[in-house]
Amino acid sequence: MLLRITQVDAFTNRPFAGNPAAVCILPKAADSAWMLNVAREMNLAETAFLVRQKDGYDLRWFTPAVEVDLCGHATLASAHVLWEDGHLKPDSQARFHTKSGLLTADRRAPWIELDFPTTPPVAAPPPAGLVEALGAKPRFVGRSCFDYLVEVDDEATVRGLTPDLNALSQVQARGVIVTTRSDGKSDYDFVSRFFAPQSGVPEDPVTGSAHCALTPYWSAKLGKTELVAYQASARGGELRLRLAGDRVRIGGQAVTVLRAELTAGNMAS
C-alpha cells in the first residue's frame, strides 16, 4: 500500500525555517513499532500519524526515539495538511484526539491557531547537573508536567548557549526550556530555546508544546495575556500566544516543502 507522507515547516512562513514535521494520514490504526520506525526513517523532531474518526482524527506523535504525549509543531503541520490536501473544508475546524485530550486547530489566514492545555511550571530546585550542563546561571528554575523551565538573565545568554547535550540527557524530564525576556530590539515579548536529548532531539527548532508552559509563566511576569514569542534556534520561528484560563491559543504559520510516497513496511502488529 502506498501512503503519502508530507513534510511541513511549521511556525514559519518560508521554506527551510521553523520546525520540520512529517505528516502521514493512515487508512487505519498502525502498530506503534512501525510508526516509530517510520519516524526514525524521517529523522525529524516529530512525525505525526493521523487516522480519521467520525468527529475528527486520532493523532499520535513520534520522535526518532520515543512517542510523546504532546507536540505543537506537528499538530500545526497536521492541520495544515488536512486543509491543503482537501481532507477538511477551509472553514472547518481540525479536531485531534490525542494522549493530551482533544486538541483543535482553526484557520485564521494566513495563521493557524491551536487550542492546547497549559502546563504551568512550578518553582523547583534544579536537578543535579542541570546548571552545569547548560553553562548558564539561572534566575528561576521550574518544573512543568513535561519539562524543566530555566529563566536566564538576558537574550544574549539564550542565543549563545552551547549546552553539554550528553550531560543534559541525564536530566529526568522530556526536555529543558531556556528562556528570557526579549532585549527590546524586536516586537517579541520573550525568547526561548528547547533542548531534548532525552527524547532523541538535541535541540528542537520551534516547540509549540513548550509554550504551554512559557505562556502562563510570561503572562504572569509581564501582566498580559497576549504575547509574541520567538524560539531562537538556528532555524528560528515565531509564535503568537493568547492565554485563556487553563488553555493557550498558539498561533503559527506553515509551509509544505516535500511530498513523497511511503512504500516500505507493514502497518499491522
Range of the domain at 99: 3-107+252-262
pLDDT at site 266: 72
Strand pairing partners for 150?
141, 178
For the chain, report the end-to-end CA distance as a whole number of angstroms: 16
- Note whether 198 and 173 are within 8 A (CB): yes
| Number of structural domains found in the chain | 2
Torsion of CA 27, 29, 31, 36, to 10 degrees: 80
Do strands 254-262 and 176-181 pair parallel, antiparallel, or not at all (unpaired)? unpaired
Question: What does pTM read for this prediction?
Answer: 0.95
Nearest to 46 by CA among 17, 75, 12: 75
pLDDT attached to residue 269: 52
Same domain for 237 and 126: yes
Q: What pLDDT, on the 0 to 100 scale, is given for residue 120?
A: 98
Assess whether 243 and 258 both reside in one domain.
Answer: no
In a domain, 117, yes or no: no
Same domain, 41 and 65: yes
Q: Is there a domain that residue 193 lies in?
A: yes
Task: Tell me: do 25 and 75 sit in the same domain.
Answer: yes
* Same-domain check for residues 189 and 173: yes
> Exactly one of 41, 46, 84, 261 is catalytic; which is it?
46
pLDDT in tens, the chain (269 residues): 679 999 999 999 999 999 999 999 999 999 999 999 999 999 999 999 999 999 999 999 999 999 999 999 999 999 999 999 999 999 999 999 999 999 999 999 899 999 999 999 999 999 999 999 999 999 999 999 999 999 999 999 999 999 999 999 999 999 999 999 999 888 999 999 999 999 999 999 999 999 999 999 999 999 999 999 999 999 999 999 999 999 999 999 999 999 999 987 678 65
Same domain, 257 and 242: no
Is there a catalytic annotation at residue 46? yes
Predicted local confidence at residue 8, as pLDDT: 98
Is 112 domain-assigned?
no
21 - beta bridge partners?
8, 46
The CATH number given to whatever domain includes residue 61 is 3.10.310.10
267 domain-assigned: no
